[in-house]
Structure 1
Amino acid sequence: MSHALVGGHHAIVSTPDGVLRIASPSDLDDVLGEVPFARALADEAVESARRAQPAWEALGLEGRIAHLRRFQAVLAAHEDDIAALIAREMGKPRREGRAEAKAMVAKIDIAVGEGLALVADRQVDRKLAWRYRPHGVVSVIGPFNFPLHLPHGHIVPALLAGNTVVFKPSEVTPHTGLLYARLVDEAGLPAGVVNVVPG
Protein backbone atom coordinates (compact mmCIF):
# COMPACT_ATOMS: atom_id res chain seq x y z
CA MET A 1 0.00 0.00 0.00
CA SER A 2 1.26 3.49 -0.77
CA HIS A 3 1.72 5.81 2.16
CA ALA A 4 2.28 9.26 0.71
CA LEU A 5 1.60 11.24 -2.44
CA VAL A 6 4.66 13.26 -3.40
CA GLY A 7 5.14 14.84 -6.80
CA GLY A 8 2.30 12.83 -8.28
CA HIS A 9 3.81 9.51 -7.22
CA HIS A 10 2.66 7.22 -4.44
CA ALA A 11 5.76 6.88 -2.29
CA ILE A 12 6.32 3.80 -0.19
CA VAL A 13 8.38 4.60 2.88
CA SER A 14 11.28 2.16 2.87
CA THR A 15 13.21 3.57 5.85
CA PRO A 16 10.60 4.99 8.21
CA ASP A 17 11.22 7.32 11.13
CA GLY A 18 8.20 5.74 12.79
CA VAL A 19 4.97 3.86 12.23
CA LEU A 20 1.41 4.87 13.04
CA ARG A 21 -0.63 1.85 14.17
CA ILE A 22 -4.33 2.54 13.76
CA ALA A 23 -7.26 0.58 15.19
CA SER A 24 -10.90 1.59 14.93
CA PRO A 25 -12.08 3.31 18.14
CA SER A 26 -15.42 1.53 17.79
CA ASP A 27 -13.76 -1.92 17.67
CA LEU A 28 -10.16 -2.13 18.83
CA ASP A 29 -9.83 -5.54 17.19
CA ASP A 30 -10.46 -3.84 13.82
CA VAL A 31 -6.91 -2.81 12.92
CA LEU A 32 -6.79 -0.58 9.86
CA GLY A 33 -3.08 -1.14 9.49
CA GLU A 34 0.24 0.54 9.95
CA VAL A 35 1.29 3.73 8.21
CA PRO A 36 5.04 4.34 8.15
CA PHE A 37 6.27 7.90 7.96
CA ALA A 38 9.56 9.62 7.16
CA ARG A 39 10.45 13.24 7.78
CA ALA A 40 12.47 13.31 4.56
CA LEU A 41 9.24 12.88 2.59
CA ALA A 42 7.96 16.18 3.97
CA ASP A 43 10.98 17.96 2.50
CA GLU A 44 10.45 16.19 -0.82
CA ALA A 45 6.78 17.17 -0.78
CA VAL A 46 7.56 20.85 -0.20
CA GLU A 47 10.11 20.83 -3.01
CA SER A 48 7.66 19.04 -5.31
CA ALA A 49 4.96 21.60 -4.53
CA ARG A 50 7.43 24.44 -5.11
CA ARG A 51 8.34 23.07 -8.55
CA ALA A 52 4.68 22.53 -9.53
CA GLN A 53 3.40 25.94 -8.42
CA PRO A 54 4.42 28.15 -11.37
CA ALA A 55 2.72 25.87 -13.91
CA TRP A 56 -0.37 25.55 -11.69
CA GLU A 57 -0.62 29.34 -11.40
CA ALA A 58 -0.05 29.71 -15.16
CA LEU A 59 -3.10 27.53 -15.89
CA GLY A 60 -5.19 30.54 -15.00
CA LEU A 61 -8.35 30.58 -12.99
CA GLU A 62 -10.49 28.74 -15.54
CA GLY A 63 -7.93 25.96 -15.88
CA ARG A 64 -7.73 25.52 -12.11
CA ILE A 65 -11.52 25.53 -11.83
CA ALA A 66 -11.73 22.78 -14.47
CA HIS A 67 -9.34 20.60 -12.43
CA LEU A 68 -11.28 21.26 -9.23
CA ARG A 69 -14.56 20.37 -10.94
CA ARG A 70 -13.06 17.00 -11.94
CA PHE A 71 -11.92 16.54 -8.35
CA GLN A 72 -15.44 17.40 -7.19
CA ALA A 73 -16.91 14.68 -9.42
CA VAL A 74 -14.45 12.13 -8.01
CA LEU A 75 -15.32 13.14 -4.44
CA ALA A 76 -19.04 12.82 -5.20
CA ALA A 77 -18.49 9.36 -6.70
CA HIS A 78 -16.65 8.26 -3.54
CA GLU A 79 -18.91 9.74 -0.85
CA ASP A 80 -19.70 6.27 0.51
CA ASP A 81 -16.00 5.33 0.69
CA ILE A 82 -15.17 8.59 2.47
CA ALA A 83 -18.05 8.18 4.95
CA ALA A 84 -17.20 4.55 5.70
CA LEU A 85 -13.51 5.22 6.30
CA ILE A 86 -14.14 8.26 8.51
CA ALA A 87 -16.60 6.21 10.59
CA ARG A 88 -14.20 3.30 10.85
CA GLU A 89 -10.99 5.21 11.51
CA MET A 90 -12.12 7.99 13.83
CA GLY A 91 -15.29 6.50 15.26
CA LYS A 92 -17.92 8.94 14.00
CA PRO A 93 -21.38 7.64 13.19
CA ARG A 94 -21.56 6.93 9.46
CA ARG A 95 -24.19 9.66 8.95
CA GLU A 96 -21.65 12.22 10.22
CA GLY A 97 -19.03 10.79 7.89
CA ARG A 98 -21.51 11.14 5.04
CA ALA A 99 -22.21 14.75 6.03
CA GLU A 100 -18.47 15.41 5.96
CA ALA A 101 -18.18 13.84 2.49
CA LYS A 102 -21.09 15.91 1.16
CA ALA A 103 -19.59 19.07 2.66
CA MET A 104 -16.35 18.37 0.79
CA VAL A 105 -18.23 18.24 -2.51
CA ALA A 106 -20.13 21.44 -1.66
CA LYS A 107 -16.93 23.25 -0.63
CA ILE A 108 -15.79 23.39 -4.24
CA ASP A 109 -19.03 25.12 -5.26
CA ILE A 110 -18.64 27.59 -2.39
CA ALA A 111 -15.00 28.34 -3.21
CA VAL A 112 -15.68 28.79 -6.92
CA GLY A 113 -18.74 30.94 -6.23
CA GLU A 114 -18.56 33.06 -3.11
CA GLY A 115 -14.87 32.53 -2.44
CA LEU A 116 -13.72 33.99 -5.73
CA ALA A 117 -15.72 37.15 -5.12
CA LEU A 118 -13.74 37.75 -1.93
CA VAL A 119 -10.39 37.71 -3.71
CA ALA A 120 -11.34 39.28 -7.03
CA ASP A 121 -9.13 42.12 -8.23
CA ARG A 122 -10.66 45.46 -7.29
CA GLN A 123 -10.10 48.97 -8.52
CA VAL A 124 -10.49 51.02 -5.34
CA ASP A 125 -10.07 54.37 -7.04
CA ARG A 126 -8.17 55.80 -10.00
CA LYS A 127 -4.77 55.20 -8.38
CA LEU A 128 -5.33 52.24 -6.11
CA ALA A 129 -6.11 48.65 -7.04
CA TRP A 130 -6.08 45.42 -5.07
CA ARG A 131 -4.52 42.44 -6.78
CA TYR A 132 -4.36 39.04 -5.13
CA ARG A 133 -1.49 36.71 -5.98
CA PRO A 134 -0.63 33.18 -4.84
CA HIS A 135 1.72 32.71 -1.89
CA GLY A 136 3.34 29.62 -3.41
CA VAL A 137 3.32 26.51 -1.24
CA VAL A 138 0.69 26.19 1.48
CA SER A 139 0.90 23.57 4.21
CA VAL A 140 -2.28 22.17 5.72
CA ILE A 141 -2.28 20.11 8.91
CA GLY A 142 -5.45 18.09 9.36
CA PRO A 143 -7.27 17.58 12.67
CA PHE A 144 -8.63 14.19 13.73
CA ASN A 145 -12.21 15.26 14.44
CA PHE A 146 -13.02 16.35 10.86
CA PRO A 147 -10.15 14.57 9.13
CA LEU A 148 -11.03 15.49 5.54
CA HIS A 149 -13.63 18.25 5.57
CA LEU A 150 -11.55 20.77 7.54
CA PRO A 151 -8.28 20.32 5.62
CA HIS A 152 -10.20 20.22 2.34
CA GLY A 153 -11.72 23.56 3.34
CA HIS A 154 -8.20 25.04 3.26
CA ILE A 155 -6.83 23.03 0.36
CA VAL A 156 -9.52 24.00 -2.18
CA PRO A 157 -9.24 27.81 -1.79
CA ALA A 158 -5.45 27.56 -1.80
CA LEU A 159 -5.53 25.61 -5.07
CA LEU A 160 -8.09 27.92 -6.60
CA ALA A 161 -5.85 30.90 -5.84
CA GLY A 162 -2.91 29.28 -7.65
CA ASN A 163 -1.05 27.86 -4.65
CA THR A 164 0.16 24.29 -4.30
CA VAL A 165 -0.35 22.25 -1.14
CA VAL A 166 1.39 19.88 1.24
CA PHE A 167 -1.23 18.15 3.41
CA LYS A 168 -0.30 16.29 6.60
CA PRO A 169 -3.27 14.30 7.88
CA SER A 170 -3.78 13.85 11.61
CA GLU A 171 -1.67 11.09 13.09
CA VAL A 172 -4.95 9.71 14.51
CA THR A 173 -6.58 9.42 11.06
CA PRO A 174 -3.83 8.86 8.49
CA HIS A 175 -5.85 6.45 6.35
CA THR A 176 -8.40 9.16 5.52
CA GLY A 177 -5.49 11.30 4.34
CA LEU A 178 -4.25 8.43 2.18
CA LEU A 179 -7.74 8.09 0.71
CA TYR A 180 -7.64 11.81 -0.08
CA ALA A 181 -4.33 11.24 -1.87
CA ARG A 182 -5.85 8.47 -3.98
CA LEU A 183 -8.81 10.69 -4.90
CA VAL A 184 -6.48 13.57 -5.87
CA ASP A 185 -4.63 11.11 -8.09
CA GLU A 186 -7.85 9.72 -9.58
CA ALA A 187 -9.01 13.26 -10.41
CA GLY A 188 -5.83 13.83 -12.41
CA LEU A 189 -4.58 16.91 -10.62
CA PRO A 190 -1.12 17.76 -11.98
CA ALA A 191 1.85 16.16 -10.24
CA GLY A 192 3.02 18.07 -7.19
CA VAL A 193 -0.02 20.32 -6.92
CA VAL A 194 -1.33 18.37 -3.90
CA ASN A 195 1.09 16.31 -1.84
CA VAL A 196 -0.07 14.16 1.09
CA VAL A 197 2.46 13.15 3.73
CA PRO A 198 1.34 11.31 6.89
CA GLY A 199 3.33 11.59 10.07
Structure 2
Amino acid sequence: MIETIRPYFEILYFFSGILLVGTLIIGIYQFKTLKEDIRLRNTRQSVEKSIEYMGWFAIEYLPASEKLSDIMRENNVPKYQGKINPSFLFDENYTEENFINNMADTVLKGNAHELVNQLEYFSAAMISGLADEKLSYAPLSRAFCNHIEKLYYGLICFSRQDNETEIYSNIIQLYLLWKNRMEKQDLLNQRREIDSRINTIPDNSIKPIGM
Protein backbone atom coordinates (compact mmCIF):
# COMPACT_ATOMS: atom_id res chain seq x y z
CA MET A 1 0.00 0.00 0.00
CA ILE A 2 2.76 2.40 0.98
CA GLU A 3 4.70 1.60 -2.15
CA THR A 4 1.56 2.26 -4.18
CA ILE A 5 0.87 5.74 -2.81
CA ARG A 6 4.51 6.81 -2.40
CA PRO A 7 4.76 8.23 -5.97
CA TYR A 8 1.71 10.39 -5.28
CA PHE A 9 3.27 11.75 -2.08
CA GLU A 10 6.45 12.51 -3.99
CA ILE A 11 4.46 14.37 -6.64
CA LEU A 12 2.58 16.32 -3.95
CA TYR A 13 5.87 17.09 -2.20
CA PHE A 14 7.34 18.31 -5.49
CA PHE A 15 4.39 20.59 -6.23
CA SER A 16 4.28 21.87 -2.66
CA GLY A 17 7.92 22.90 -3.08
CA ILE A 18 7.01 24.77 -6.26
CA LEU A 19 4.10 26.47 -4.49
CA LEU A 20 6.36 27.45 -1.61
CA VAL A 21 8.93 28.96 -3.97
CA GLY A 22 6.15 30.75 -5.84
CA THR A 23 4.74 32.11 -2.60
CA LEU A 24 8.19 33.37 -1.59
CA ILE A 25 8.67 35.07 -4.97
CA ILE A 26 5.26 36.75 -4.73
CA GLY A 27 6.02 37.81 -1.16
CA ILE A 28 9.38 39.29 -2.16
CA TYR A 29 7.77 41.12 -5.09
CA GLN A 30 5.01 42.49 -2.85
CA PHE A 31 7.60 43.60 -0.29
CA LYS A 32 9.64 45.39 -2.97
CA THR A 33 6.47 47.00 -4.32
CA LEU A 34 5.46 48.13 -0.84
CA LYS A 35 8.98 49.43 -0.15
CA GLU A 36 8.99 51.37 -3.44
CA ASP A 37 5.53 52.74 -2.70
CA ILE A 38 6.71 53.94 0.73
CA ARG A 39 9.82 55.50 -0.85
CA LEU A 40 7.77 57.33 -3.47
CA ARG A 41 5.30 58.50 -0.86
CA ASN A 42 8.09 59.81 1.38
CA THR A 43 9.73 61.51 -1.60
CA ARG A 44 6.46 63.17 -2.56
CA GLN A 45 5.88 64.34 1.00
CA SER A 46 9.41 65.78 1.28
CA VAL A 47 8.95 67.62 -2.03
CA GLU A 48 5.61 69.01 -0.85
CA LYS A 49 7.22 70.09 2.42
CA SER A 50 10.06 71.77 0.52
CA ILE A 51 7.60 73.73 -1.60
CA GLU A 52 5.73 74.72 1.54
CA TYR A 53 8.93 76.02 3.14
CA MET A 54 9.91 77.89 -0.03
CA GLY A 55 6.58 79.68 0.10
CA TRP A 56 7.04 80.46 3.80
CA PHE A 57 10.54 81.81 3.22
CA ALA A 58 9.42 84.13 0.42
CA ILE A 59 6.07 85.27 1.81
CA GLU A 60 6.63 85.41 5.57
CA TYR A 61 10.29 85.29 6.50
CA LEU A 62 11.85 87.66 3.96
CA PRO A 63 9.51 90.62 4.68
CA ALA A 64 10.05 90.21 8.44
CA SER A 65 13.79 89.99 7.92
CA GLU A 66 13.77 93.17 5.82
CA LYS A 67 12.11 95.01 8.69
CA LEU A 68 14.98 93.90 10.94
CA SER A 69 17.46 95.12 8.32
CA ASP A 70 15.76 98.52 8.30
CA ILE A 71 16.04 98.75 12.08
CA MET A 72 19.71 97.78 11.92
CA ARG A 73 20.37 100.55 9.39
CA GLU A 74 18.42 103.09 11.46
CA ASN A 75 20.52 102.18 14.51
CA ASN A 76 23.77 102.29 12.53
CA VAL A 77 24.60 98.72 13.40
CA PRO A 78 27.82 97.88 11.52
CA LYS A 79 27.84 94.88 9.27
CA TYR A 80 30.09 92.10 10.46
CA GLN A 81 33.04 91.81 8.07
CA GLY A 82 35.12 89.18 9.83
CA LYS A 83 35.51 85.48 9.25
CA ILE A 84 32.64 83.21 10.26
CA ASN A 85 33.59 80.95 13.15
CA PRO A 86 32.36 77.44 12.17
CA SER A 87 31.24 76.90 15.78
CA PHE A 88 29.39 80.25 15.79
CA LEU A 89 31.11 81.44 18.95
CA PHE A 90 32.56 84.85 19.78
CA ASP A 91 36.27 85.00 18.96
CA GLU A 92 39.00 87.57 18.44
CA ASN A 93 37.16 88.95 15.38
CA TYR A 94 34.12 89.93 17.41
CA THR A 95 33.43 89.85 21.12
CA GLU A 96 30.43 89.95 23.38
CA GLU A 97 31.27 93.59 24.20
CA ASN A 98 30.80 94.51 20.53
CA PHE A 99 27.39 92.92 20.63
CA ILE A 100 26.32 94.76 23.76
CA ASN A 101 27.42 98.11 22.29
CA ASN A 102 26.05 97.70 18.76
CA MET A 103 23.28 95.17 18.59
CA ALA A 104 21.38 94.47 21.82
CA ASP A 105 18.59 97.03 21.41
CA THR A 106 18.26 96.26 17.72
CA VAL A 107 17.77 92.55 18.38
CA LEU A 108 14.89 93.31 20.72
CA LYS A 109 13.26 95.93 18.49
CA GLY A 110 13.51 93.76 15.39
CA ASN A 111 12.12 90.64 17.01
CA ALA A 112 15.27 88.87 15.86
CA HIS A 113 14.96 85.99 18.32
CA GLU A 114 11.68 84.91 16.75
CA LEU A 115 13.19 85.12 13.26
CA VAL A 116 16.14 82.95 14.22
CA ASN A 117 13.89 80.44 15.96
CA GLN A 118 11.86 80.17 12.76
CA LEU A 119 15.05 79.56 10.81
CA GLU A 120 15.99 76.83 13.29
CA TYR A 121 12.70 75.02 12.63
CA PHE A 122 13.26 75.45 8.90
CA SER A 123 16.82 74.10 9.20
CA ALA A 124 15.69 71.14 11.30
CA ALA A 125 13.23 70.13 8.56
CA MET A 126 16.03 70.26 5.98
CA ILE A 127 18.62 68.43 8.08
CA SER A 128 16.20 65.70 9.20
CA GLY A 129 15.07 64.97 5.64
CA LEU A 130 11.49 66.00 6.36
CA ALA A 131 11.97 68.45 3.49
CA ASP A 132 14.26 67.94 0.48
CA GLU A 133 17.26 70.18 1.09
CA LYS A 134 18.66 69.55 -2.40
CA LEU A 135 15.43 70.81 -3.93
CA SER A 136 15.45 73.84 -1.64
CA TYR A 137 19.13 74.58 -2.18
CA ALA A 138 18.99 76.41 -5.52
CA PRO A 139 16.26 78.94 -4.70
CA LEU A 140 17.02 79.47 -1.00
CA SER A 141 20.69 78.80 -0.22
CA ARG A 142 22.17 82.24 -0.93
CA ALA A 143 19.38 84.15 0.79
CA PHE A 144 19.51 81.77 3.76
CA CYS A 145 23.28 82.07 4.19
CA ASN A 146 23.18 85.85 3.81
CA HIS A 147 20.59 86.14 6.55
CA ILE A 148 22.52 83.81 8.87
CA GLU A 149 25.63 85.94 8.36
CA LYS A 150 23.59 89.07 9.12
CA LEU A 151 22.49 87.57 12.43
CA TYR A 152 25.80 85.79 13.10
CA TYR A 153 27.34 87.98 15.78
CA GLY A 154 24.20 89.87 16.75
CA LEU A 155 22.24 86.92 18.00
CA ILE A 156 23.53 83.46 17.21
CA CYS A 157 27.00 83.89 18.73
CA PHE A 158 25.53 85.69 21.71
CA SER A 159 23.18 82.75 22.32
CA ARG A 160 26.02 80.23 22.00
CA GLN A 161 28.53 81.20 24.64
CA ASP A 162 29.23 77.62 25.64
CA ASN A 163 31.25 75.14 23.55
CA GLU A 164 28.86 72.38 24.57
CA THR A 165 25.66 74.18 23.61
CA GLU A 166 23.31 72.77 20.99
CA ILE A 167 21.42 76.04 20.50
CA TYR A 168 20.77 76.69 16.80
CA SER A 169 22.73 73.55 15.87
CA ASN A 170 20.44 72.87 12.89
CA ILE A 171 20.99 76.40 11.56
CA ILE A 172 24.74 75.95 11.80
CA GLN A 173 24.70 72.52 10.16
CA LEU A 174 22.58 73.70 7.24
CA TYR A 175 24.58 76.92 6.86
CA LEU A 176 27.91 75.05 6.66
CA LEU A 177 26.42 72.49 4.26
CA TRP A 178 25.03 75.08 1.86
CA LYS A 179 27.90 77.56 2.24
CA ASN A 180 30.51 74.92 1.41
CA ARG A 181 28.45 73.71 -1.54
CA MET A 182 28.12 77.25 -2.87
CA GLU A 183 31.83 77.94 -2.49
CA LYS A 184 32.67 74.70 -4.28
CA GLN A 185 30.27 75.53 -7.11
CA ASP A 186 31.71 79.04 -7.41
CA LEU A 187 35.23 77.60 -7.66
CA LEU A 188 34.12 75.10 -10.29
CA ASN A 189 32.53 77.91 -12.29
CA GLN A 190 35.75 79.91 -12.05
CA ARG A 191 37.76 76.91 -13.18
CA ARG A 192 35.48 76.35 -16.17
CA GLU A 193 35.80 80.03 -17.08
CA ILE A 194 39.60 79.87 -16.81
CA ASP A 195 39.72 76.67 -18.88
CA SER A 196 37.52 78.31 -21.51
CA ARG A 197 39.78 81.37 -21.66
CA ILE A 198 42.88 79.16 -21.88
CA ASN A 199 41.39 77.28 -24.82
CA THR A 200 40.81 80.52 -26.72
CA ILE A 201 44.47 81.54 -26.50
CA PRO A 202 46.43 80.25 -29.50
CA ASP A 203 49.47 78.12 -28.69
CA ASN A 204 51.77 79.52 -31.39
CA SER A 205 55.54 79.38 -31.63
CA ILE A 206 58.27 80.53 -34.03
CA LYS A 207 60.56 77.95 -35.55
CA PRO A 208 64.31 78.67 -35.34
CA ILE A 209 66.15 79.35 -38.62
CA GLY A 210 67.17 76.16 -40.36
CA MET A 211 64.46 74.00 -38.93
- Higher relative CO (CA 8 A, sep ≥ 6), structure 1 or 2? 1
TM-score, normalised with respect to structure 1: 0.26
Bigger radius of gyration = 2
**Which structure is higher in helix share?**
2
**Which structure is higher in strand share?**
1
TM-score, normalised with respect to structure 2: 0.25
